[in-house]
Chains A and B, each alone.
Chain A
Amino acid sequence: MARIIAGVSSSHVPAIGAAIDLGKTEEPYWKRVFSGFEKSKEWMAKTKPDVAIVVYNDHASAFSVEMIPTFALGCAAEFPPADEGWGPRPVPVVKGHPRLASHIAQSVILDEFDLTIANKMEVDHGLTVPMNLLFGQPKEWPCPVIPLAVNVVMYPPPTGHRCFMLGKAIRKAVESYPEDLKVVIFGTGGMSHQISGPRAGLINSKFDKAFLDNLSRDPKKLIRIPHIQYMREAGAEGIEMVMWLIMRGALDEKVDEVYRFYTVPASNTAVGHIILENKRRAAGKAKKTPAHGGKR
């Protein structure tokens, strides 16, 4: 059967994508950010997932205000990079896994999660920046990707609890897929940031660090955080962190924290990143990289 072996969370700041695309990753400002993902890329290269499920949000690229699906699962064979106003990012076309994706859709809908199915969808920096951070800049992405777009642009996004429960349903769906596949799930966006209005620039590192701690050890403490608390404490756009709870819901209750990184700022945003592994890993698979290689 297919199994979810690990979860990865990462911020998705567009300026990180621009820094990659414009070759600025060695500049001191950006090196501080990118150096935090070196161990993660090693971990990913050793883990070699067969499929990645990437929970992310679209930023007025694939979805305008014409249609605002709360959860949209990408079931297409491929997802081209969107033109976000500066031409599409020079990253490979994202190849999907339509069979597993449609299996997940069928399973979670019957589990009462009323997903939208996206059979044609472009993907923006919300998806491709975390992929760059974990996979580097390959000519082709090393594994197929199932995008799960979550509305966090129009209030209200789905609740943290709903996200966590969807994660559980996705796990159940993956585990009922007959083929032997190693799956890694990404939760993306966040951490604290506000990019709109007179309060723009807000950062709350204490909130972020507590969130990372609880995500790792005690996610139940996070799932009832009301939206007002995210917006007040972590900024209007910090509410993206509910997406991390889909990732967490898809993992075991107890996980191994393999790696963590946190830095302020990347452009307007606090960058947070964590790798969590399920304990039940198949024997002989990738060894763990040292814990807490990054700044905490």
Chain B
Amino acid sequence: MTRAPHDYDDIPGTFVFDAERSREGYHLNMFCMSLMKAENRKAFKEDEAKYLDRFPLTPEQRDAVLNRQYNKILELGGNIYFASKLGATDGHSFQHLAAVMTGSTQEDYAKMMLAGGRSIEGNRSKSGGSRRSKRSKSGKKRG
């Protein structure tokens, strides 16, 4: 199904959790929410596929969960605060998830953050530099 176009589609590397994704991802997020309970975490770890049968996920959502494809989870309607509960169930920190989503190692990601984070320069717009704001022109490249 095609999503309606939005101004924020132009932001690179970003899946905005909007009302449409919230609707599509309802069961996906409710699955993640269920992992707040220890008994559910245990049941999920024992048999992930069987546990997922409790939730009417789409086949794509189900695969994304089983394969821990976090960007795909976000694209298919998962929200990061919910998805992080899946990460926590695996024993991963938030920073680990962030590194995974950026295709980096946690060590490299942590180094980038210590050096001031990912620069806004070159990361504003998919369509190019025409949207640079005036006050950011002198921003130096970081990370």
Contacts and interface: CB of A to CB of B under 8 A. Distances in A.
Contacts of A228: 7-8, 11
> Which size bracket describes the interface of B in this complex?
35 or more
Nearest to A155: B18
Given A205-B116, A228-B8, A199 B19 contact: no
A199 B33 contact: no
Interface in A208-267: 210, 227-228, 231-233, 236-237, 264-265, 267
Given A65-B33, A236-B11, A231 B136 contact: no
Interface in B90-121: 94-95, 97-98, 101-103, 109, 112-114, 116-120
Nearest to A18: B93
Contact of B98 (A68, A195, A204, A210): A195
B66 interface: no
A196 B100 CA distance: 10
Given A64-B29, A155-B18, A232-B131, A201 B124 contact: no
B26 A65 contact: yes
B33 A197 contact: no
Interface string B1-39: 000000110111111111100100110011011011000
A85 interface: yes
B118 A202 contact: yes
A206 B101 contact: no
Contact of A265 (B11, B19, B30, B114): B114
A196 B81 CA distance: 9
A267 B133 CA distance: 26
Given A64-B29, A202-B117, A197 B14 contact: yes
B65 interface: no
A203 interface: yes
A65 B26 CA distance: 7
A83 B38 CA distance: 11
A85 B83 CA distance: 12
A206 to B, nearest CB: 5
Nearest to A83: B36
Contacts of A232: 8, 10-11, 124-125, 131
B125 A155 contact: no
B113 A267 contact: yes
B123 interface: yes
B94 A15 contact: yes
- Interface of B, helix, strand, loop or mixed by DSSP: helix
B104 to A, nearest CB: 8
Residue among B101, B117, B125, B139 with the highest chain A CB neighbour number at 10 A? B117
A268 B14 contact: no
A14 B97 CA distance: 14
A194 interface: yes
A85 B94 CA distance: 12
B135 interface: yes
A199 B81 contact: no
B143 interface: yes
B123 to A, nearest CB: 6
A202 B120 CA distance: 6
A239 B74 CA distance: 17
Interface in B17-70: 17-19, 22, 25-26, 29-30, 32-33, 35-36
A200 B101 contact: yes
A196 B135 contact: no
Given A65-B26, A65-B29, A207-B136, A196 B14 contact: yes
A67 to B, nearest CB: 12
A231 B113 CA distance: 19
Max chain A Cβ within 10 angstroms of own Cβ: one of B19, B71, B118: B118
A206 B36 contact: no
Contact of A198 (B97, B101, B112, B139): B101
Interface string A166-207: 000000000000000000000000001011111111111111
B7 A201 contact: no
Nearest to B101: A200
7 contacts: A154-B22, A155-B8, A199-B118, A206-B120, A231-B11, A233-B124, A268-B94
